[in-house]
Structure 1
Amino acid sequence: LKMLAESYYIPKNETGDDATFFSQSAQVIGVADGVGGWSTEGIDAGEYARQLMRNAYAAAVKEYRHRPIFQVDPKEVLRHAFLNTAEMGSSTACIISFAAAPVGKMILRAANVGDSGFMVIRGGGTVYRSPVQQHSFNFPYQLEYSSEKHSHRQAAELAVEVESGDVVVAGTDGLFDNLFAGDIERIVGDYCMDSMFSLSETLARAAHGRSRETTTVSPFQVAANEAGIRYVGGKLDDITVVVAYVVPDTSSSYGGGDGDVMDVDC
């Protein structure tokens, strides 16, 4: 098996605070969401996230070249990225690697800090959703320049078994704060035979549309209300979506581009 992925990004403003990558050779996905509060100090809130993901990509490729296939350690990738990011700022981050497990099984391994994350959809339903790490409502764990308190060591290490045909949807909180799991499942079910890029765009635009609504219930509203905060509607935010298909490892899965990937159980 292999993982093939595409992404779509809708920034909240001209610069945007999110960043993402996918290394096909290393079979690693990364998403990060720069903390917007830094903009009040004249700092580009997204530059930390972008540098973090550039460093994570470099670390993933280096790990791939020095380890057996399907053995990239996402927490090591995150550690390297964090220690080599010198930009002022802070960010949530989720690194996901496609890895071999005993008895011929394949798993997703992940290192997650904060409220970016991923879900695995199989047969139209969610079989796994990564947990959110937060101190309190809307205050997620984060990686921060010159910070020990919120360092890479607080990353949650996750693992979930995957099968051919699974759909992996990863994203920043702009996706998961605006679309419920059922919304994502429905869109994946309706559009999973499209290309991964097209499906990621459809999900991102659905989240963006919800983010601008002031009457429709959103996951962010539900969480706010549960925390005792009066809030109605969606949450305006940067929205990053990565869609990955788990497919048989054949030359045809790679050679024709993402439009040729049809072995998806949704």
Structure 2
Amino acid sequence: MENLEQIHQTLGDIDARVPDALRVALGLGYRASPTPAPGEDDEVADFAASLLQPPATDDGAGDRGPTEHDAAAPRIDWASCYVPLHDHDAHFGNTKAGVLGVADGVGAYAESGVDAGAFSRGLMTSASAEVAALEPGAHVCPRALLERAYDETAASGAPGASTAVILSLAGNALEWAYIGDSAFAVLRGSKIVFLSTPQRHLSRTSLKKLRFSSTAARRKQRLFSSSDPPFQLSAAGEHSDSVLDAKAGQLAVRAGDVVVVGTDGLFDNILEEQLELAVQMGTRLGFSPKNMADIIAGVAYESSKRLRKGKPDDITVLIAFIVQSDL
């Protein structure tokens, strides 16, 4: 986790790191350079448009299948950005093992004077230690890792509750396990090819709304409320969902894919279209995973401050590039 000075620096650099072209493309509402007068060329808008053009392909080479040169299993190149508000989020990553995780402490516990980030930190600390102790090349099952991390955290007596998601790259497959509304997306060619579905205990009102909403509308409208708490893990059995309720699965991935992992502070404050645009522009500009994590966290942070439309919260973003291993 970044220290407080680094976090303040990230916040201070958000405007500098989000160039005007990104602001225009992502609809962030303002930009640093003057807006041209009517009839004048808008070089910023033109530059943004050029970045959003589909990349040129060479006789379909961009869609080719794996070749003998690509036989080695891919690996991850990852980085994170954490913008705290209540400081209830936690995360970890292990490049050699190809494992990432985020957790989000349930803020309602803070109203009772409880450290609402204790359980999320316990989950990620335990998971990180488990992975670090494995032999090189050992397979990591996300569900089993989440179960062990939960058992250790619950046994420690850590207060509060947490959502969580753990991802593991195993060969050409991205495996996952998650509970609650911490989430992840996989993008290929800057388009979302998989987006995890939040687990929530829905009220009658929300269930009724969902009956009359399309899939696209459900993602873009705020149909959930505080009466729809996410699934969560805690040491207090009567207030905890079971770790066995965690969703698990896998998806085939390949070099060039981008994985975005985050807490609800990210996914509640960024539209799918914005996420796709940010990844597309960042890829064209040659952003590193850290650059891209900072940019995406910056977009979510600015959105979180918008009246009525934003949701102020801790924002954790992990970006993992799927890259080809050296043969």
* TM-score exceeds 0.5: yes
2:231 aligned residue (138, 141, 159): 141
- 1: CA distance, partners of 2:81 / 2:243: 26
2:181 aligned residue (92, 95, 115): 115
- 1: CA distance, partners of 2:298 / 2:321: 20
Contact in 2 for aligned 1:27/1:70 (Cα 8 Å): no
Equivalent residue number for residue 245 of structure 2: 154
Indicate how the Cα distance of structure 1 residues 172 and 243 shifts in structure 2: closer, same or farther if over 3 A, else same.
same
Equivalent residue number for residue 151 of structure 2: 83
Report 1:173-184 matches (<5 A).
173-184=264-275
Secondary structure at 2:292 match in 1:
helix
- For the pair 1:187 / 2:263, whether they are aligned, the reply is no
Question: What is the CA-CA distance between 1:61 and the residue it aligns to?
Answer: 2.7
- For the pair 1:241 / 2:297, whether they are aligned, the reply is no
- Greater gyration radius: 2
Question: What is the CA-CA distance between 1:123 and the residue it aligns to?
Answer: 0.7
**With structure 1 as the length reference, what TM-score do the two structures score?**
0.81
1:6 aligned residue (79, 99, 106): 79
Q: Which ranges of 4 or more aligned residues in structure 1 deviate by more than 3 Å?
A: none
Equivalent residue number for residue 254 of structure 1: none
- 2: CA distance, partners of 1:56 / 1:184: 28
- 2: CA distance, partners of 1:146 / 1:38: 12
**AA partner of residue 250 (structure 2):** A
**With structure 2 as the length reference, what TM-score do the two structures score?**
0.66
Report 1:1-266 matches (<5 A).
1-13=74-86, 16-62=87-133, 64-65=134-135, 69=137, 71-85=139-153, 86=156, 87-100=158-171, 106-136=172-202, 137=224, 138-147=228-237, 149-192=240-283, 193-214=286-307, 232-250=308-326
Could you list the per-position Cα deviations for residues 140-186 of structure 1 after superposition, in whole angstroms to 9, with x for gaps in the alignment?
10111132651211110121110110000000000100101111010
- 2: CA distance, partners of 1:242 / 1:21: 9
- 2: CA distance, partners of 1:124 / 1:165: 9
Please give the root-mean-square deviation of Cα atoms over the aligned residues, in Å: 1.5
**Long gaps (5+) in structure 1:** 101-105, 215-231, 252-266
- 1: CA distance, partners of 2:127 / 2:160: 16
- Amino-acid identity (%): 38
- 1: CA distance, partners of 2:318 / 2:138: 20
